[in-house]
Structure 1
Amino acid sequence: MTPKMAARRPRIFRKLLSRSTLLKIVLLFLVWSVVEAHISYYHIARAERETKARTSVTKPRRVFIASLHWNNEEVLRSDWNKGVVDLATVLGPENVFVSVYESGSWDNSTGALRELDGELEKMGVGKKIVLDEETHKDLIAKPPKQDEGWIDVPAYGRKMPRRIPYLSKLRNLSLQPLRELAMNGTMFDHVLFLGDVVFTVPDILALLDTNNGQYAAACSLDFSKPPYFYDTFALRDSHGHEHASLTWPYFRASRSRKAMVHARPVPVSSCWNGIVAMPASTFTGIRGLQFRGLPDSLAASHLEASECCLVHADNPGSRTRGVFVNPAVRVGYTRAAYDAVHAAASAAEEAGGSWLTLGDVFFGMWRTGLRAGLPRRGWRKRR
């Protein structure tokens, strides 16, 4: 290297690192970020319009609805019952079976479900609505018939039932009619696990069509106190990590986050956010899945996992067909929560807007991207 070349190199570096050059780089980066936010905003708005347009079925669908309820009278009477009736009307009463298991509610959930039972009866919809009078207090007051699902709790000086095995048992009971019908030759295309949420027919039709119908499971996004999503226990990104942010675009793994930013079906490891659609064949036949909890020995060591995560881990289809969150399907645990994640879209519909503002998109991409890239203290929760 000649002396002239050696002297020239520091000057080049100083020029590249000059204040004006750095400012240009920052401005260029900001301009690109704004452009990227506009592109994302456009994709979200388009997905919003497509979801709202789904008001009828394009092909026959046979749907088995499975649902658990406890102290849900308010949402049952305000929205849920009507949503089920509307869905059965659109799909066709002959194409729907409703299986509900209610257990020990303190409110008048049983009365609301009896009303639904009557409506479905008039329509000719297949159904099994179980109203179990046993409360949690009744359950723990009597000795267990078997030790499985119960662990010693020193603070109480006795065995206590574990929540996850108990919920697993109820979910399996809600699926029992599906298995019995399949054994008699009556088949369904989808199982729709319908939580105690506010939803509409377009929401369900969009969820069933997630990823063009190619999925092992498709989940909505659920909200109790918007803009924060609700079910953090079951939702894990494509790398098995918990969320990076409770607000949009939520995910730590770049694959999941990019899909959310572009309003595409989001690949995840597990989800159970309000409503879940799965192929009915997953739960029928000799190899049909059952919900379960972790062994009691692990629970005694304070290790626990949701049955709604384990079902995806147990499902071979999760690895071949994928598990997805559909960002266009947003449900709420109250009417106010549902409206909060739809009202903005309704107001902006004529202008081609979305449920998020452009500012939400811009700052959300920055905030979640930074959090996803930062190292975290302690153990990272994974599925």
Structure 2
Amino acid sequence: MASSARIFIASIHWNDEEVLRSHWNNAVLDLVRALGPDRVFLSIYESGSYDNTKGAIRELDADLEDLDVPRKVVLSDVTHEDDIQAPDAEKGEGWIDTDEGERELRRIPYLARLRNQSLQPLEELARVGVVFDSVLFLNDVVFTPGDVLELLDTNGGDYAAACSLDFSNPPSYYDTFALRDSHGNGHVTHSWPYFRSSTSRRAMKVLAPVPVSSCWNGMVAMPALPFYEHLRFRGISDSLAQSHLEGSECCLIHADNPLALHRETFLNPRVRVGYHGSAYDAVHPVTKWLSPWQIFKGLWANRVLRWMTTDAFKEWRVRSRVRRWEESDGYGESLEPGEFCLINEMHVLKPWGWAHA
């Protein structure tokens, strides 16, 4: 990536005070210094946390002011409980009828709305002629500026999207909901080398950028152009979700990304982040990340599970529900391009987080 490239950094937060104070705030300040305050814009959207996430972000905001960093920081007082307690008349799009006889707020459209809120300044700045080359999405993860620079330079900067690999309980990776291999399959194993697709697996074995259909996994870099052409986060339609299907907004964004038609989406295994300090340290040992025993064990576990398991039934179940939904309108106008993102689950928002329904 060119040294003059301009980066729009977007991040959403909920109840993550601990990692903000222990790692994230300082990492963001170091990142801004590394990239240059005049080359970045930071958009932070916090949504009704129950801890003191707001206080941690206010402290970061003051430090960003000292560095004269362009930014927009939104601290919302609207909690999950407030959103869930909406009047019945407002329980339309984004709500679903569950088997418990309740009309409940769907988690994924809710998260998509928050992520789109974090992108609002991108559109506002474009109206006054301020544009960016890349969008960097940062989860509440432990990272270093070097991690971000490596991510931005994935495949020489030529990609539809580039993602890190995230860990909460190593050696298992974390974000199974969004990651799909080059054939659209989910993982075979939670630990290295993860994938069913030989294309993805071969790249992972040599720690090269891994072609995937979708990823998120802590940090994501994407060219800004599709967002100027109105690419946004979304959930699947409520009517499709009613058949007990769900897909991550962080997977569907890749299904909708027009750049994915002629550029690869990559997971960069050299960029590994953690949801706490010990996880980050575990995947950045003094010696090599993977020991000879981990490599041997991982290869054989992956091989055996590929031989002995299949995703065919899961894929058939999803595909049959999608086909019924597509045919239900009678006009053939219903279409879901992110079918590879879908799983047999239903997620609803709860005051403390979310739950399966």
Fold match, TM over 0.5? yes
Pick aligned residue for 1:273 from 193, 217, 222 = 217
CA distance in 2, matches of 1:203, 1:67: 16
Q: Please say if 1:333 is aligned against 2:275.
A: yes
Q: Distance in 2 between matches of 1:375 and 1:357?
A: 26
Give the aligned partner of residue 136 of structure 2.
192
Secondary structure of 1:249's counterpart equals coil
Q: Which amino acid aligns with 1:374?
A: M
Partner SS, residue 379 of structure 1: helix
Are the counterparts in 1 of residues 212 and 265 from structure 2 also a CA contact under 8 Å? yes
Of Structure 1 and Structure 2, the greater helix share is in 1
Paired residue type of 1:134: V
In structure 2, runs of 5+ residues without a counterpart are 316-339, 342-357
Task: Give 2:92's aligned residue.
Answer: 147
2:298 alignment counterpart: 364
After TM superposition, list the pairs within 5 Å mapping 1:151-166 onto structure 2. Answer: 151-155=96-100, 157-166=101-110
Return the alpha-carbon distance in structure 2 between the equivalents of residues 69 and 186 of structure 1: 25
Partner SS state of residue 336, structure 1 = helix
In the aligned structure 2, how far is the partner of 1:146 from the partner of 1:317? Answer: 35
- Residue identity matched to 2:172: Y
Bigger Cα Rg: 1
Distance, in Å, in 1 between the alignment partners of 2:225 and 2:254 is 14
Question: Structure 1: which amino acid aligns with 2:267?
Answer: V
Letter of the structure 2 residue corresponding to residue 119 of structure 1: D
CA–CA separation in structure 2 for the residues paired with 1:114 and 1:375: 49
SS in 2 for 1:193: strand
C-alpha distance after superposition, 1:29-61 (max 9, x if no partner): xxxxxxxxxxxxxxxxxxxxxxxxxxxx97223
Deviation at 1:154, TM superposition (A): 4.7
Out of 165, 170, 173, the position equivalent to 2:114 is 170
CA–CA distance in structure 2, aligned partners of residues 149 and 193 of structure 1: 23
Assess if the C-alpha contact under 8 Å between 2:226 and 2:258 holds in 1: no
* Correspondence 1:114 to 2:58: yes
**C-alpha separation between the residues in 1 aligned to 2:2 and 2:106?**
43
2:147 is the alignment partner of 1:203: yes
What SS is found at the alignment partner of 2:142? coil
Change (3 A) 1:272 1:374: same
1:374 aligned to 2:318? no
Q: 1:246 corresponds to which residue? A: 190
* One-letter amino acid of the counterpart of residue 93, structure 2: E
Deviation at 1:362, TM superposition (A): 2.1
Cα distance in 2 for residues equivalent to 1:61 and 1:216:
16
Aligned to 1:191, what secondary structure does the other structure show?
Answer: strand
TM-score, normalised via structure 2 length? 0.86
2:252 aligned with 1:307: no
Shift of 1:378: 6.2
Matched, 1:92 2:36: yes
Please report how far the alpha carbon of residue 280 of structure 1 lies from its aligned counterpart in structure 2 after TM superposition: 1.1
Tell me if structure 1 keeps the 8 A contact 2:41–2:70.
yes
Deviation at 1:180, TM superposition (A): 1.1
Deviations 1:64-100 (A, max 9, x none): 1101100000000000001110000011101111101
Residue equivalent to 1:355: 289
Deviation at 1:372, TM superposition (A): 2.2
C-alpha distance 377-197 of structure 1, shift in aligned 2 (>3 A): closer
Separation in 2 of the partners of 1:225 and 1:246? 10
The 8 Å contact of residues 165 and 271 in structure 2, kept in 1 or not, is answered as: yes
Structure 1, unpaired ranges of 5+: 1-56, 349-353
Helix, strand or coil at the partner of 1:247: coil
* Aligned positions, number: 316
- Opposite residue 145 of structure 1, the aligned amino acid is E
1:124 paired to 2:86 = no
Give the secondary-structure state (helix, strand or coil) at the position aligned to 2:81.
helix
Secondary structure of the structure 2 residue equivalent to 1:147: coil
- Contact 1:265 1:326 (C-alpha < 8 Å) held by counterparts: yes
Q: CA deviation at 1:262?
A: 1.2
Q: Distance in 2 between matches of 1:377 and 1:249?
A: 17
1:290 counterpart (228, 232, 237): 232
Contact 2:203 2:210 in 1 (8 A): yes
Kindly provide the CA deviation profile for residues 112-133 of structure 1, in whole angstroms up to 9, marking residues without a partner as x: 0000111111101011111111
* 1:52-63 mapped onto 2 (5 Å cutoff): 59-63=3-7
| Cα offsets for 1:265-323 (capped at 9, x unmatched) | 00000001000000111201xx3201111111111111111111111011121121111
Give identity over the alignment, percent. Answer: 58
